[in-house]
Amino acid sequence: WGTRAVEAIDLVYKGQASICIFTEVGELWNACRLPHFNTFYQNGTKKNGGVCIAVGKHLKATRIEVNIPNTVIIDITGLSEPVRIIGIYWPTSQLRDLKEIQPFVIEGTILSGDFNATVKE
């Protein structure tokens, strides 16, 4: 994140994004903020891990508290239909268990992130 933060922020504003999901943001995330966005951040289990979902302040977003490492879940309301966003970073060293996430996957869910999947999985 540190070396690409400026590029990512530039892309967000050039693309007029309303919702962004960032993974592997690391400890430097606290030094980089996105004006006009509410951010929902989860520390990573490793120094360079972590997940952040940024939502434009014109949208109403609420964090769903979960005890799943490297995972952020938010609900966005005020659209034509409610949307749930799940942002995940699964380092190769972290046990992957989709059963942890399944209770949070509802209609209108967008699941995104860095899953570090392998062919065996």
Q: Which CATH number do you get for residue 105?
A: 3.60.10.10
Q: Is 49 part of any domain?
A: yes
Round to whole Å and give the CA distance between 55 and 68.
Answer: 21
SS3 (DSSP) at 99: helix
User: 105 with 86: CB under 8 angstroms?
Assistant: yes
Round to whole Å and give the CA distance between 54 and 77.
Answer: 15
Q: What is the pLDDT of residues 56-96, one digit of tens each?
A: 999 999 999 998 888 999 999 988 999 999 999 988 877 77
- Provide the domain limits for residue 39: 5-114
Q: Is 120 part of any domain?
A: no
Q: Is 110 part of any domain?
A: yes
Cα within 13 Å of Cα(96), Cβ side: 14
The model's pTM: 0.84
